Amino acid sequence: MLLSERAKHEGLIIVDLQNDFCPGGSLAVEGGDEIVGAINSIAPSFPVVVATKDWHPAGHVSFASSHAGKQPFDSVSVSYGEQVLWPDHCVQGSAGAEFHPELDLRPINLVLHKGTRLDLDSYSAFFENDHATPTGLDGYLRGLGIRHIVVCGIATDVCVFFSVTDALRLGYEVSVVQDAVRGVDQPEGSVSRALDTMRTHGARVVAASEL
């Protein structure tokens, strides 16, 4: 596929394309591995590519195993509100936290690790779940003159969703690549609700072929 060069102010964000979110991983998202090819083909045309990694210490607050009597998908109330609990996933340095082996790392400018604090989760690439602590990504992108971000990766209804809504709030133009995202869909229907809400907030939902 021959892709035209993107404009200088367009950045690609690849969200959490890690083994634990792909089939066989501890928090596997159906079809998570199917989007790697599309991402590899679009990434080289962007002047700036950021890939995020969910990167939790063992015993992280978002793990059900850290809370006595709790199961994955239960929630607990923490200092910054309700925290959904997940199976242990993306533990720092583990194989599950590595990028999917077929993801082409060559076009990536920045790898951003998030969710690194024991007591604070981070779904969004821009702010931790207290919605106040920045990850630094906004400053990085602004410093490079990026005004339009194109988002792909996992999970449509979790980290992609919060990254997109934060980016819109920060004033970026945002496109979501529908065939290059996959979601947890727990409870069922949350992927289509997330896409609708992102559209309502002003995101464009596009196909990779339209880029």
Contact footprint for Zn ion (CB under 5 A): 54
Q: Does the footprint of ligand VGL cover residue 86 (CB under 6 A)?
A: yes
Q: Is 128 in the site for ligand VGL (CB under 6 A)?
A: no
Q: 3-state class of 7 per DSSP?
A: coil
Q: Could you tell me if 82 and 18 are in contact, meaning their C-beta atoms sit under 8 angstroms apart?
A: no
Q: Are 43 and 187 in contact (CB under 8 A)?
A: no
Residues 32 and 18: their CA atoms lie apart, in Å, by 9
Instruction: Name which position in 97, 112, 125, 159 contacts ligand VGL (CB under 6 A).
Output: 159
**Residue 155 partner contact from Zn ion, ligand VGL, none using kind-dependent CB cut-offs of 5 to 8 Å:** ligand VGL
Given the complex with Zn ion, which of 54 and 166 has the nearer CB atom?
54
State the binding partner of 128 from ligand VGL, Zn ion, none, CB within 5 to 8 A by kind.
none
Burial category of 15 from C-beta neighbours within 10 Å (exposed 0-12, middle 13-18, buried 19 and up): buried
The answer to the question of residue 63 lying near ligand VGL (CB under 6 A) is no
Confirm whether 22 is a catalytic residue: no
d(CA 158, CA 154): 8
Is-catalytic flag, 196? Answer: no
Exposed / middle / buried, residue 29 (Cβ in 10 Å: 0-12, 13-18, 19+): buried
Annotation says 16 is catalytic: yes
- How many chain residues touch ligand VGL (CB under 6 A)? 8
The residues carrying an active-site annotation are 16, 114, 159
Which residues make up the interface to ligand VGL (CB under 6 A)? 16, 21, 54, 86, 154-155, 158-159
